Amino acid sequence: MNQPFSGFSKLSKEEKINWIAEAYFSTPEQAVSLLKKYWNSDPKIQKLHDEFIENTITNFYIPLGVAPNFLINGKYSTIPMAIEESSVVAAASKAAKFWSTRGGFKTTVINTEKIGQVHFIYQGDVSKLELFFAQTKSKFFADTENITTNMQKRGGGILDIELRDKTNLIDNYYQLHATFETKDSMGANFINSCLEQFANTLKRESQNFELFSETEKDIQVIMSILSNYVPNCIVRAEVSCPVDELEEKHIQNPHDFAERFVQAVQIAEVEPYRAVTHNKGIMNGIDAVIIATGNDFRAVEAGVHAYAARSGQYSSLSHAKIENGIFSFWLEVPLALGTVGGLTSLHPLVKLSLEMLENPSAGELMQFVAVAGLAQNFAALRSLTTSGIQEGHMKMHLNNMLNQLEATDDESLQVRKHFKHHVVSHSGVVNFVENLRK
């Protein structure tokens, strides 16, 4: 296809599929058949999915699994996880079971403050701008009352608005830096609506401020948008137990294990190359729960990684120590989540996932998500500091290899039996199956 196609968005779904099949595939009929194969059999549900995004042609499925036995603040929960990577759900489940007999997970929501900014250019005397803001601040609140009324009834709203001078970074650059409480909604639409009204108020009131010159009245709003960096929307998850109680089948010497574990975390705290992979493992657990509950994992990823670099160097999100014979492992992570609005009331499986979690508040969901991240990190570090990460991961990946090779049930049985006592590798599995077929 070497030429642009005009009016694609106006085509029907069938027309879009047929055009794509003819333009890009050597066997158009097979492409059409595959796309339609993944449509939902219920037309109402399929229509719902079609309207989530634009130019929908089919559904792209990701498995939804569950990790049971999470003891969190004295209560057992089963956590839904939507992810395509082998071993993530199994690892989280094993970590949950491990800690369920050692006091479980403890969680605390530290703060739930969210942030939005109006970015603008002002050319003039900064002292005049500061006086203008001080005299006008109340009008920003007043002008958004029609937007904030319902949120205030739920206990949320605008917390504060600050004028920030950023002229050391860009000439004439300033911000209105606003903080918000959005309760059980993620709050993006609410925050952005407030910010756009702030921008209108800023431009209107600046025209009426007598101390401003004509140049100073010409405030240029560049953009008004929420931030996905939420360093004051933090949840803490932690586990701890006497070092001796860490002993199990794979941990014969708990003191040696605890020391190696803490050292592994310390390496991630000081070595960015390790920290990125370390935190990626945490995000395996976090993202899986966020996707299952209909939240925005891209926003969370961006905010979490910015938080991990807040000191000026990218570092571990989790921390560990041994103190007075007690092993402790914890993380604090920024999570701006919602349990109302967006997909939470639309996607059937999102609603199911939230019901599985007993319809949590946004704060409660933050705790589930943080626990999943900590559990995943513990499982990965336990493997790395004992048997190595590949042994368990490759055995969990075995199903994918067998599916790629289109192995029969009998072949699969023999492969699993053989590799129960041998190192799993792609080439090893391929050779074994080929020998079976000879």
Annotated active-site residue 393? The verdict is yes
Annotated active-site residue 114? The verdict is no
The alpha helices in 293-361, defined as continuous H runs, are 297-308, 348-356
Alpha-carbon span 408 to 403, nearest angstrom: 9
* pLDDT value, residue 253: 95
Annotated active-site residue 410? The verdict is no
Domain locations along the chain: 8-50, 65-111+234-389, 114-227, 397-437
Joined tokens for residue 291: 């996707």
Please name the residue that has the structure tokens 């090779």: 405
* pLDDT value, residue 404: 79
Query: Among residues 177, 280, 418, 426, which one is catalytic?
Result: 280
* pLDDT value, residue 197: 98
Q: What is the pLDDT of residues 129-162, one digit of tens each?
A: 999 999 999 999 999 999 999 999 999 999 999 9
What is 66-106 written as a DSSP string?
EEEEEEETTEEEEEEEE--STTHHHHHHHHHHHHHTTT-BE
Query: Do residues 113 and 180 touch, judged by C-beta distance below 8 A?
Result: yes
Please provide the CATH number assigned to the domain covering 65-111+234-389.
3.90.770.10
Q: What is the pLDDT of residues 357-415, one digit of tens each?
A: 999 999 999 999 999 999 999 999 999 998 765 555 565 667 777 877 878 877 787 77
Q: What is the DSSP letter of 235?
A: E
Annotated active-site residue 119? The verdict is no
Give which of 384, 350, 359 is closest to 262, Cα–Cα: 384
Query: In Å, how far are 50, 189, 236 from 194, measured between CA atoms?
Result: 30, 9, 29
Same fold yes or no, 65-111+234-389 and 114-227 = no
Residues paired with residue 149 on neighbouring β-strands, in sequence order: none
User: Of 3.40.50.2300, 3.10.250.10, 3.30.70.420, 3.40.50.12780, which CATH number belongs to 114-227?
Assistant: 3.30.70.420
Alpha-carbon span 296 to 304, nearest angstrom: 12
365 phi/psi in degrees, rounded to 5: -65, -40
Alpha-carbon span 57 to 18, nearest angstrom: 10
Residues of the chain predicted below pLDDT 70: 1-2, 388-397
Query: Among residues 13, 49, 50, 85, which one is catalytic?
Result: 85
Query: In Å, how far are 122, 131, 135, 206, 219 from 213, measured between CA atoms?
Result: 11, 14, 17, 10, 11
* pLDDT value, residue 431: 79
Joined tokens for residue 275: 């920290």
Query: Among residues 94, 119, 347, 393, which one is catalytic?
Result: 393
Alpha-carbon span 368 to 81, nearest angstrom: 11
Percentage of the chain modeled with pLDDT above 70: 97
Query: Among residues 196, 287, 296, 364, which one is catalytic?
Result: 296
